[in-house]
Structures are given as structure tokens and as C-alpha cells.
């Protein structure tokens, strides 16, 4: 392990502390609103600067991904967030005394003399390469501070009290209009004189420390590096004990003229690890700290360059103006420094991702209800999982687990490195008190505190994060993140401003040379390197006569191409042009496309924005990028129409589609039924997920993984960790992205789970509520002016389209619904749609009893059982994938659920209603026909089914009974099943004993003995069937009782298509089929031989969203998608509209209602309003029969038992 903190601190000096006065002279017209420094000819480049590209060192992400995420979403959210009251006010101590040198150095003055070399001060302070190991004069142990008696007595002194800030004592309101001196262009110009009239550079802040805060400061440090709380005191040397607050909006980061070279020296020279070395020789931990400080350096310097020249009437500046020359001198040839800014940004984003579960519900409150809610909503918008996953690459690019690993030296070496590393950070924090410029100190401390907070989050165990963060630390973290974001966004802006001025000089010179040679024969184009430097009086005007319409002189091709490429590069860096268009234009310029050459010669040198506009317009027509004209050139192959075709409208397909749409993608969704939801809409128990915000539950991802592995019964599986760890994000997405229409406010424990983790709504059933919430969001996309979502109902995918390499490139489809599903006037019964990717999310094959069914092929023994699946679950996706070479996995693993309701009124129906497992989870007891218990009700599904077959192989009918308390916990389900007459209510034990199911063979005494034994076992914590969780006991004397008859039913197909952990469909040889992906029940191998209850919805969400996040979006599209068939209306019209134009609803008699109860006309009354559901019958997820049963009558009770009121928003009464 080698180290060199000297190298580590190099960028930090210029950064934080601002090296000192830079040369100040202005260029530009008197009427301009910005001031620039005239570039010397030696630094006039063909392009503005070396653009940072490629991988961000020490992170798994590239520069383009960071800038894209920042430009698309992060910057705007962070900018708005910093304007909230909570985040613009911070308490931070600025009164700490410098401990490391005397006051003559600590109170370094701001000099009025400008050095010739703007970075002479910086260069002078860069030490020579290290020779040998040196002693550190500052403590690096992280536990000690200088003894009080050793601290020098330092007086507080205004660092500018000896500097004449105003050269005109008689005119304090001069407003910089001194006609005797051109302040900006004077070689001895002192910018500090401006501050006396506009703003002080070292505003004092009253920092009072309360006794309680002082006690906090005196807490014992965390010295033991082997303990998990070692990092709790990461920010202890940046005290936030002030009783006053600083408004950051009133203290912007800009140039102050402060010379902080002495602080640089302290940080650079006086901190070291035990070994020295170059950056390449540093260990990972040292590089992390170096890059963080370097990134902080870049951020501060960029902000200073953005706000360098103060307002001036003389120079017509009403606001602060940038110094682009300063920016270029620092970063024009040092892109690695900008990349370190990207690295620091990634580290902070990773900390935000790790703390998201805690921060999501953090009370960002200052007492103003409206403002507090606005702040929390914006924080939640930033933390919403769909944003974190759409920008997932940047939120996960830094891996803190690589830090402080045990190597050769073992735990001792690791502990020593931790102590040194934290000690260095503490020392740098302490040196901040040696900055005598208050505003410099303010911004330096805040950003160092923000980075320290991020490091604390990353290095602490998750369970300690919630208790470790303070309000000032959170304010500093978010402000630092916003600073880095703004700096990244400003880099291309400053580079473009510099480039524009460089181009103006070159244009003027070329104009003069070309004018002088107009009458010469074939004048050679001048070389850029041979052109003389511009005169000091060169104009910045863009209206050179050389480019006037009347001028006939042509711009040389090389100059035109150079200007065009520079304009394109600047636009790409600023994110002002889509990546696909940028690619086309770059290729066209390199190939010297005739169209682009013509545009470049007439527009690019003087009107780059117009050049880009016209070039992009041509590119979108497909006319650019093919090089010189060629009659024989073959036409380019058609580009994909959309980013993805999703086959299947269940939870997996819908969550993937919404995720892609949120990222800006275009999606075609095929659903062969007339409604969305599939089997997901029937799922009632809930969705399994680890709630990291509920620390009291004791649940964890590891526990969830262990339960799933145990239930699967086949050992470790690479898909299981994807499911269990992804459940955390899935739950956050449901609570955040879908919060408008979904509330998962209840949680229960299902069979096979060691903790309660099954989340469900208190209103409505879990599956249908989730489907409804997603569909409402999809409706918004479908209603866009240029919709990116095409929903094709009644449309079945019949074939996957592939290219010569075997990659899937699209889908062939056909309409399978009623005639109304085909667009009137232009029938389209079949067609093709091309896409970059195809996602199969068609569910299982548990409802296919046909001759060629997968069920008959692989599990003919199960054909005798009924199913809980809807009629559309026929293995379509499996057959499509297998036809193009996909591998099938565990196709004989089909789950039989132990509790499907047996309805005595309809005994032969092959489709049974599932008795949700949550009923057993809340305390439901299973009894056989003799009134005896026979199993652990919370055992896995295969176990309970097996026990049923042993207990009563002939009838396979059992009683499930719940007491009053258990029924109350599952009242939504109980209400639904009672309305469907699948569960009966018994007021007493005697009534329960008289139930027809027992056929007179069971007495009240038998039941009482069974319940009493159950209650006794609950007290001991274990029964004869190894049951250890007994919810809502006692069962004895706990009437009323709720009971129903249950029987095993085919419920779920664990087998399916083989996929990789990222959802790519695999062949038999393990290779991925390009362009083909799968999610939901269609995949195989995840659940082994038994799926735990609640994992179906989790699987659909986790893998659907993972694929939605991984697929590439935004590719060029040269074709329009085929017109989809028009589905029938999703909702019925009014049975009767208001009469007489009054807008009221017509009164409908019971007699008239009773006539509308058929498939031709079906009306249902809900909450005293009549709805015409005729056109919705075929689209209803539960089938037409469920509605027809209440046709012509009131259906309020059954509707409210199943649905939320929002379900009726699509229907007009």
C-alpha cells in the first residue's frame, strides 16, 4: 500500500481557496453584456478545449452517462431544491481559530498587484516530487487535537483592513464610472475596489454556541476502527454549532480576490500517509480522497470563473460576468480535472442512493406547511426509484465496498489505514479554519461537510445512517451535490463562450486575407497556424462583411468543416442535440457529405446555431450521413421503429413499459385480451418487499433471500438475489411513482416467510390496485400530443421477427378480438412492428387445457385440477421464445396452490377463485372434514398441498376458518369473498358446527377442542406441525367465525424461459438472444420447485423494471410504426344523460333497470348512479360473468369490496 497525500491535495488548493488575483483585462464591445479576456494566439486551438471523455476513473460509469443524467433530470431538480427555505439556510461555524501558524500568515492580505502569470502563486506552491518518507507535522490519527496551551493567541482581524478598497473617498456611490481609468484593462487593476460598493467579501456571521451544542462537540471521538460506528465522527472538525443561519442564496460563490496559498501549503505539505507515490501508485482509498478533493477544486474554480467580473456601468455589466480565459487556462488542456468532478458527483449520488430509504420520509420541515410539503415532494422526486433507475448507472457507479478491504496485513493494516484516512480528512477540515476570507471559508466548509456526509453514509452500516445525520449535514450534502451538478453543466457553456470568441478572431483574419486575394487566381486557403495574432482592437462583432449575402468569396472547406465540427462538439457537450443526431452529423462531416458541406460553408463559421438547426433538420429526414451522392448506393436498412415491443399487459409488462416511457422511450404494448392486468389483476395477497424504512420489523434482504432459497428447495440461484434486493427499490417505486393512485398501507406475513413483508392496500386488492395505478400513468403518455405509447388490445403476437444473425428485431401480430377491435374503414387484422428490443411478459401456461398445451406436455397429471388463472394464460410467450431457440427451464415445475375456493353452487367450473394466502397469514386455521388440524398453515404451498393430499385424497376439500380479529385484519378480502358467497359468517361456534360442509359429522365440542389446542400451542410458541407464528389468537371464544371450503388448484408455473440476471433470454448454450428479454411468470428457474406467496407480484415488478431500465432508448427512427387497431371503448356511455340541458342525471326506475341485464345491454347501479358496462364486459379482467351477475341491479357492495372509487373515473354515469 503506497500513498502520497501531497499529490492528493494538489487540486484542492486552487479549488477551495482560490489562489489569488488573476490577470484582469477585458475584451469585447462597450455595449456587450459580458466581458472576456483576449486570448493570446498561442492558446488559440482548433477546438475550445480537450473534452473529457471515456470512463470516469475509479468508477463504473463514463462521462457521457454522467452528463446525460445531469442534463436530462438531475440538474433541474437540484436547482429547484436549493431554492427552498430548508436547503438555502444553514448553520455552520465560521469562527474557529487557525491552529497551525501565526496570525501574520493566517491573515494574508488580498494584494492589489496582479502577477503576470495568473497561476504563478499556484505553481510556486507545488512541491517537488517526494524523495523519501517524511514526517507529518499534523496528526493523522484522527483522535488528537493540539493542546489548548499550544494554540497561538490569534486576534480576529479584517483581512482587508489595510487594503484601500476605494480609490475615491469623496464619491462612494461612484458605481465604477471613473473616466480617468479603465479599471478592467489596467495592468494594476484591483478588482477588490468594486466590493466596497456592491458587497463585502468577508461578511461576518454571528456564531453563538449553545451549551447543548458545546456538549455535543465534546463527545468522545470514535477511535476503534474495528467497530461499525468508527465513521460517525467523520465531520466532527467541521462544527455546525452556530445559533445563526446563513442564507446561501445571499452568499453566492464568486471571485473575492483572496490569496489562500498558505492554506494550500498546509494541506499539501502537512498531511501524508506512511508512504509516498504518484497517483498511479496510490491505493484505492487514497485515490478516492484525491479525486474527491480534485473534483471539489474543479467545482469551486468553475463557479468562480462563471462569476468573476463584478457589475460595472462603464462596461455595461449589470451582473457578474464570466472569465472564460481563466477557465480555459485551468482546464483547457486538463480534462482529467473535469473527470474528477464527475467522479465526486458520482460518489455523492451513490451516497444519496444508499440513504434514499431513510431520506424519502425524512421531515424536511421548518414549520411552513406549504413550503415544507413542496420541499419533501421535490426530495422524493429526486429519490423516486424511477429516476434513480433511469439514471441508475450514475447512482451505482461508485462502489464503496472496495474501500478498506483486508489485504496482506489483515485487520491491523486495515484499521491503521482507516485511522490515517479519517485523520487526514479531519486535518483538512481543521485547516479550513485558517481561511480568513469568510465567504471562501463558508463555501469551502459547506462542500467539505457535504463530502464528509456522503462518506459517512457510504462507510457506515445501513442501520446507523438514520441516527447519524444532522440537518446541517443534509443541507451541505444536497448543496454540494447541486454545486457539482451546476459545475458539470457549466463546463460546455464556458467552453462554448470561449470557442465563440476564438472563432470571431479567426473569422476576422480570414476575412481580411481572403478580401486581399479576391482578384488572385485560385488563392490557397490560409493555414490557421500561419495567421497573425489578432490586434488588441479586434472587434467581437459577428456581422463581418465577409459573410454578408453580397459577398461571393467562399469559405475554405477545411475552415468550414472545422467550424461545423466545433459547433457540433459544443452542442453535444451542452446536451442541446440528441445523441443519435450527433452521431449522424459527425459521420456526415467526416464523410464530407455534400449537404453538410454546403451548410457548413455558408452557416457554420458565423452562425453555428443556424447550421445546427438546418443540419439536424436534414438529418431527421435521412438525407445526411451517406457521403457523396451515388446513384448505385443501396438504400440504408430501416431503423427500428420503437425502443421496445412489450408482449403482455400484466404487471411485468406494464411496469417495464412505464419505466421506459419515464426514460423517454417509445413503446408498443400488445395485449391479446380486451383489458390490461392479466393474472396480476387477480392477485390479492400483496407484494413481497423488504421495507428498509421499517427497522422495527427486523426484516432484511438477506432474510428474504434465505426464505426464498429455502422455499425453492434447489440451493443458490443467481436470480434470487436480483428479486430480493430489487424488492427494496420496487417498493419505493410503488410508494413514490404510483402514489397518486396507490397506497400500500398494510403489511402481513405469508407462508414460508420469516418476517411480515407482504404489502397491500387497505382499499381494494393488491394486484388490481397496482394495475390501475400504472394504467392511469400510462394513460397520460397515451394522451400526449405525439404519444410515445401505442397500446394494442385484442392483439396477439404470433411470431418473433429475426434478422440474419438471429437477433430479434420485431413482432408479427394479429387481431383476435371482436370486430370492433379492427379500425373501421381500414381493416387491419394483422401486421408487423419493428423494435430495438422485444420483451415477453405473457405469464404462464396454467390455463391451457388444449391438446398442444405445455401443461399437457410436461404435467399431464395436473389436468384434473382446476386453475386460478384467467383464460388468456396459455403459454403464448413460451412458444414464441422456444421457436427462436430459447432454452426452457423446469417446465414440469407447476405449482398447485392449496387454497382455491370450492363453490358448491358451481362445482364443475375449471376456473376457481383463489383464497388469498394472506388469510392464513393473518391467522386462518385449516381443518379437515372431521374437524382436525393437519398442517402448519404457514408452511410452503407444496408442503400444505402435500398434507392435504395425505389428509383427504378422495375429496380434497377442507375448511378454512378465521376468528373475528383475523377477519378484521383482512376485511377487504373477507368482504369480497362474502359477497361472492365463497365465505360464510357464523355468529357462534354452534352455528359453525352446523355448517353443511361437516355433513353433521362434527360437533361444537370437536371444534372447541381443536381451537383450544391451537391456542395452547400458540402460548408455547410451537405446535406438532412445527408452526411458530400464531397471529390473532386466541381462536377459542372469538366469534363470529368466517369459513369457506378450499381445494388445491393449479396456480403458478415456476418453469419457463431461461434468462440471465438482467433479463436477457438465453439459448441452450447459455448465450443471449440479442434483442429478446423476458419478465414475470414466463421466466423459469427463479422459484425452483415452489414459489412463496407474494413473490409473483415482486417478480413481475423487479424484473419488469430492471429490463425497462436497462434497454437502450432513443435510437434513430426512419420509419413510422404501423397503425394499431383501434380497441373498443373502454367505458360505457351514460345510461341516460341529463334532461333539458340541466346537466343532471335522469332518474331511472327499478323496473327499467331490471331490463338491462344481458350481454346486449348491461347496466349496474353503484352508489346510486347507473353505469352502462355493456362495452366493458369483454374487457373485465374477471370476465363478463362477474358483471352480468349484478346486471340490472345494485352492485355497490361487491364493487367496494374489490375496487377503489378511482376505478370509475373512466366511466360516465
* Short-list 578, 573, 538, CA closest to 664: 578
Long-range contacts (CB closer than 8 Å, 24 or more residues apart) made by 530-538: 531/41, 531/506, 532/41, 533/40, 533/41, 534/38, 534/41, 534/505, 534/508, 534/509, 536/38, 538/27, 538/38, 538/504, 538/505, 538/508
Name the residues annotated as catalytic.
897, 920
Contact 128, 79 (CB under 8 A): no
Beta bridge partners of 668: 645, 790
Which residues in 1100-1132 are b (16+ Cβ under 10 Å) and which e? Answer: bbbbbbbbbbbbebbbbbeeebbebbbbbebeb
Tell me the C-alpha distance between 32 and 364, whole Å: 43
**What value, to the nearest 5°, has the Cα angle with vertex 489 and ends 488 and 492?**
95
**Half-sphere exposure of residue 1198: CA atoms within 13 angstroms, side-chain side:** 17
Give the Cβ contact number of residue 313 at 10 Å: 11
What are the φ and ψ backbone dihedral angles of 1155, each rounded to 5 degrees?
Answer: -85, -5
156: Cβ–Cβ under 8 A, 6 or more apart, which residues? 95
Tell me the C-alpha distance between 474 and 450, whole Å: 8
Contact 267, 22 (CB under 8 A): no
Cis amide linkage into residue 1116, ω under 30° from 0: no
Beta bridge partners of 800: 811
Tell me the C-alpha distance between 858 and 312, whole Å: 83
SS3 for 54? coil
| Cell (9 digits) for 806 | 438471429
Contact 387, 73 (CB under 8 A): yes
Beta bridge partners of 810: 801, 834
Contact 2, 281 (CB under 8 A): yes
Tell me the C-alpha distance between 678 and 846, whole Å: 13
Contact 264, 125 (CB under 8 A): yes
What are the φ and ψ backbone dihedral angles of 1124, each rounded to 5 degrees?
Answer: -75, 160
547: Cβ–Cβ under 8 A, 6 or more apart, which residues? 507, 511, 605, 606
Burial classification of residue 430, based on how many CB atoms lie within 10 Å of its CB (0-12 exposed, 13-18 middle, 19 or more buried): buried
Q: Which helix (DSSP H) or strand (DSSP E) does residue 351 occupy?
A: helix 335-359
To which residue does cell 495574432 refer?
A: 533
Give the Cβ contact number of residue 686 at 10 Å: 29
What are the φ and ψ backbone dihedral angles of 883, each rounded to 5 degrees?
Answer: -70, -20
Cα–chain center distance at 626? 37
Q: Is the backbone of residue 764 left (phi > 0), alpha (psi -120 to 50) or beta?
A: left
439: Cβ–Cβ under 8 A, 6 or more apart, which residues? 201, 202, 203, 251, 253, 256
Tell me the C-alpha distance between 344 and 82, whole Å: 19
Cα–chain center distance at 869? 34
Amino acid at each position: 500500500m503506497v500513498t502520497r497525500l501531497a499529490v492528493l491535495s494538489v487540486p484542492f488548493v486552487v479549488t477551495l481557496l482560490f489562489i489569488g488575483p488573476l490577470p484582469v483585462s477585458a475584451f469585447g464591445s462597450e455595449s456587450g453584456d459580458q466581458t472576456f479576456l483576449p486570448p493570446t494566439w498561442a492558446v488559440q486551438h482548433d477546438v475550445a478545449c480537450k473534452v473529457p471523455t471515456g470512463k470516469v476513473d475509479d468508477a463504473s460509469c463514463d462521462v457521457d452517462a454522467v452528463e446525460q443524467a445531469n442534463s436530462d433530470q438531475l440538474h433541474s431538480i437540484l436547482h429547484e431544491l436549493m431554492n427552498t427555505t430548508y436547503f438555502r439556510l444553514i448553520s455552520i461555524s465560521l469562527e474557529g481559530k487557525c491552529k497551525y501558524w501565526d496570525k501574520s500568515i493566517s491573515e494574508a492580505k488580498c494584494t492589489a498587484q496582479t502577477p503576470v502569470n495568473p497561476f504563478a502563486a499556484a505553481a510556486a506552491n507545488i512541491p517537488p516530487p517526494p524523495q523519501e518518507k517524511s514526517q507529518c507535522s499534523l496528526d493523522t490519527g484522527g483522535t488528537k487535537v493540539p493542546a489548548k496551551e499550544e494554540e497561538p493567541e490569534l486576534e480576529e482581524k479584517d483581512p482587508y483592513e489595510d487594503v484601500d478598497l476605494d480609490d475615491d473617498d469623496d464619491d462612494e456611490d461612484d458605481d465604477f464610472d471613473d473616466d480617468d481609468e479603465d479599471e478592467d484593462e489596467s495592468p494594476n487593476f484591483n478588482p477588490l475596489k468594486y466590493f466596497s460598493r456592491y458587497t463585502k467579501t468577508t461578511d461576518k456571521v454571528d456564531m453563538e454556541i449553545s451549551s447543548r451544542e458545546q456538549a455535543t462537540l465534546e463527545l468522545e471521538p470514535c477511535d476503534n476502527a474495528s467497530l461499525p460506528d468508527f465513521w460517525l465522527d467523520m465531520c466532527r472538525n467541521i462544527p455546525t454549532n452556530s445559533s445563526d443561519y446563513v442564507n446561501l442564496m445571499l452568499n453566492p460563490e464568486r471571485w473575492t480576490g483572496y490569496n489562500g496559498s498558505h492554506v494550500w501549503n498546509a494541506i499539501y505539505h502537512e498531511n501524508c500517509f506512511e508512504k509516498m507515490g504518484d497517483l498511479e501508485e496510490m491505493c484505492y482509498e487514497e485515490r478516492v480522497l484525491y479525486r474527491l478533493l480534485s473534483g471539489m477544486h474543479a467545482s469551486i474554480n468553475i463557479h468562480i470563473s462563471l462569476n468573476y467580473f463584478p457589475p460595472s456601468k462603464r462596461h455595461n455589466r449589470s451582473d457578474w460576468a464570466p472569465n472564460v480565459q481563466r477557465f480555459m487556462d485551468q482546464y483547457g488542456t486538463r480534462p482529467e480535472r473535469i473527470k474528477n468532478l464527475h467522479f465526486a458527483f458520482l460518489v455523492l449520488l451513490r451516497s444519496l442512493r444508499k440513504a434514499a430509504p431513510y431520506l424519502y420520509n425524512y421531515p424536511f420541515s421548518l414549520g411552513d406547511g406549504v413550503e415544507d410539503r413542496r420541499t419533501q415532494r421535490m426530495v422524493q422526486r429526486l429519490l423516486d426509484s424511477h429516476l434513480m433507475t433511469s439514471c441508475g448507472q450514475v447512482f451505482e457507479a461508485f462502489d464503496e465496498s472496495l474501500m478498506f478491504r483486508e489485504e496482506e496485513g489483515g485487520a491491523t493494516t486495515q484499521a491503521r489505514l482507516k485511522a490515517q484516512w479519517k485523520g487526514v480528512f479531519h486535518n483538512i477540515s481543521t485547516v479550513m479554519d485558517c481561511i480568513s476570507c469568510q465567504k471562501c471559508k463558508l463555501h469551502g466548509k459547506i462542500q467539505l461537510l457535504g463530502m464528509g456526509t456522503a462518506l459517512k453514509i457510504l462507510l457506515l452500516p445501513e442501520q446507523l445512517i438514520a441516527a447519524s445525520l444532522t440537518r446541517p449535514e443534509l443541507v451541505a450534502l444536497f448543496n454540494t451535490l447541486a454545486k457539482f451538478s451546476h459545475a458539470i453543466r457549466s463546463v460546455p457553456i464556458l467552453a462554448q463562450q470561449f470557442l465563440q470568441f476564438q472563432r470571431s478572431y479567426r473569422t476576422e483574419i480570414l476575412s481580411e486575407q481572403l478580401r486581399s486575394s479576391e482578384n488572385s487566381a485560385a488563392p490557397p486557403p490560409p493555414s490557421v497556424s500561419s495567421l497573425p495574432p489578432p490586434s488588441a482592437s479586434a472587434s467581437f462583432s459577428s456581422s463581418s462583411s465577409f459573410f454578408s449575402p453580397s459577398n461571393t468569396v467562399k469559405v475554405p472547406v477545411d475552415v468550414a468543416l472545422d467550424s461545423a465540427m466545433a459547433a457540433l462538439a459544443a452542442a453535444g457537450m451542452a446536451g442541446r442535440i440528441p445523441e443519435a443526431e450527433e452521431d449522424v452529423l459527425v459521420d456526415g462531416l467526416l464523410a464530407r457529405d455534400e449537404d453538410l458541406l454546403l451548410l457548413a460553408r455558408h452557416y457554420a463559421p458565423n452562425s453555428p446555431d443556424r447550421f445546427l438547426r438546418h443540419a439536424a433538420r436534414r438529418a431527421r429526414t435521412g438525407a445526411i450521413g451517406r457521403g457523396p451522392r451515388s446513384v448505385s448506393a443501396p438504400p440504408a436498412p430501416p431503423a427500428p421503429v420503437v425502443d421496445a415491443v412489450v408482449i403482455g399487459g400484466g404487471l411485468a409488462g406494464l411496469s417495464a413499459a412505464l419505466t421506459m416511457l419515464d426514460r423517454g422511450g417509445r413503446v408498443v404494448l400488445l395485449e391479446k385480451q380486451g383489458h390490461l392486468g392479466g393474472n396480476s389483476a387477480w392477485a390479492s395477497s400483496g407484494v413481497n418487499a423488504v421495507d428498509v424504512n421499517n427497522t422495527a420489523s427486523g426484516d432484511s434482504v438477506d432474510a428474504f433471500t434465505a426464505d426464498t432459497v429455502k422455499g425453492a428447495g434447489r440451493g443458490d440461484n443467481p436470480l434470487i438475489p436480483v428479486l430480493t434486493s430489487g424488492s427494496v427499490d420496487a417498493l419505493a417505486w410503488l410508494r413514490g411513482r404510483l402514489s397518486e393512485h396507490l397506497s400500500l398501507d398494510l403489511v402481513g406475513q405469508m407462508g414460508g416467510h420469516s418476517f411480515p413483508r407482504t404489502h397491500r392496500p387497505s382499499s381494494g386488492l393488491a394486484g388490481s390496485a397496482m394495475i390501475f395505478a400504472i394504467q392511469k400513468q400510462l394513460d397520460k403518455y397515451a394522451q400526449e400530443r405525439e404519444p410515445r405509447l401505442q397500446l394494442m388490445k385484442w392483439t396477439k403476437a404470433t411470431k418473433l421477427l429475426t434478422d440474419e444473425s438471429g437477433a430479434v428485431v420485431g413482432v408479427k401480430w394479429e387481431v383476435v378480438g371482436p370486430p370492433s377491435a379492427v379500425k373501421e374503414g381500414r381493416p387491419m387484422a394483422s401486421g408487423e412492428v419493428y423494435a430495438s428490443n422485444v420483451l415477453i411478459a405473457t405469464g404462464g401456461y396454467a390455463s391451457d387445457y388444449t391438446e398442444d398445451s405445455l401443461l399437457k406436455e410436461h404435467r399431464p397429471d395436473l389436468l384434473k385440477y382446476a386453475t386460478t388463472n384467467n383464460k388468456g394464460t396459455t403459454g403464448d410467450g413460451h412458444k414464441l421464445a422456444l421457436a427462436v431457440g430459447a432454452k426452457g427451464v423446469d417446465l414440469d415445475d407447476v405449482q398447485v396452490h392449496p387454497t382455491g375456493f370450492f363453490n358448491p353452487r358451481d362445482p364443475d367450473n375449471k376456473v376457481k377463485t383463489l383464497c388469498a394466502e394472506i388469510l392464513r397469514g393473518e391467522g386462518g386455521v385449516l381443518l379437515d372434514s372431521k374437524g382436525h388440524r393437519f398442517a402448519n398453515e404457514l408452511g410452503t404451498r407444496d408442503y400444505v398441498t402435500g398434507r392435504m393430499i395425505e389428509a383427504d385424497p378422495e375429496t380434497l376439500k377442507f375448511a378454512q376458518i378465521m376468528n373475528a380479529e383475523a377477519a378484521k385484519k383482512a376485511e377487504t378480502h373477507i368482504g369480497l369473498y362474502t359477497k361472492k358467497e365463497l365465505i360464510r359468517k357464523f355468529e357462534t361456534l354452534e352455528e359453525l358446527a352446523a355448517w353443511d360442509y361437516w355433513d353433521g359429522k362434527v360437533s361444537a365440542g370437536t371444534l372447541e377442542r381443536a381451537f383450544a389446542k391451537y391456542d395452547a400451542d400458540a402460548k408455547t410458541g410451537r405446535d406438532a406441525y412445527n408452526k411458530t407464528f400464531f397471529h390473532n389468537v386466541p381462536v377459542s371464544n372469538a366469534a363470529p367465525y368466517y369459513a369457506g371450503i378450499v381445494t388445491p388448484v393449479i396456480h403458478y408455473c415456476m418453469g419457463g424461459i431461461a434468462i440471465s440476471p438482467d433479463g436477457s433470454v438465453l439459448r441452450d448454450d447459455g448465450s443471449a438472444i440479442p434483442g429478446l428479454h423476458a419478465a414475470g411468470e414466463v421466466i423459469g428457474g427463479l422459484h425452483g420447485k415452489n414459489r412463496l406467496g407474494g413473490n409473483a407480484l415482486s417478480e413481475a415488478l423487479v424484473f419488469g423494471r430492471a429490463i425497462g431500465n436497462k434497454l437502450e432508448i432513443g435510437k434513430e427512427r426512419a420509419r413510422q410504426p404501423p397503425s394499431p387497431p383501434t380497441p373498443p371503448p373502454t367505458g360505457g356511455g351514460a345510461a341516460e344523460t341529463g334532461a333539458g340541458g340541466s346537466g343532471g342525471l335522469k332518474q331511472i326506475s327499478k323496473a327499467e333497470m331490471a331490463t338491462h341485464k344481458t350481454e346486449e345491454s348491461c347496466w349496474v347501479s353503484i352508489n346510486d348512479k347507473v353505469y352502462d358496462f355493456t362495452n366493458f364486459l369483454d374487457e373485465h379482467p374477471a370476465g363478463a360473468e362477474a358483471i352480468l351477475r349484478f346486471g340490472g341491479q345494485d352492485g355497490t357492495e361487491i364493487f367496494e369490496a374489490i375496487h377503489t372509487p378511482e376505478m370509475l373515473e373512466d366511466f360516465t354515469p
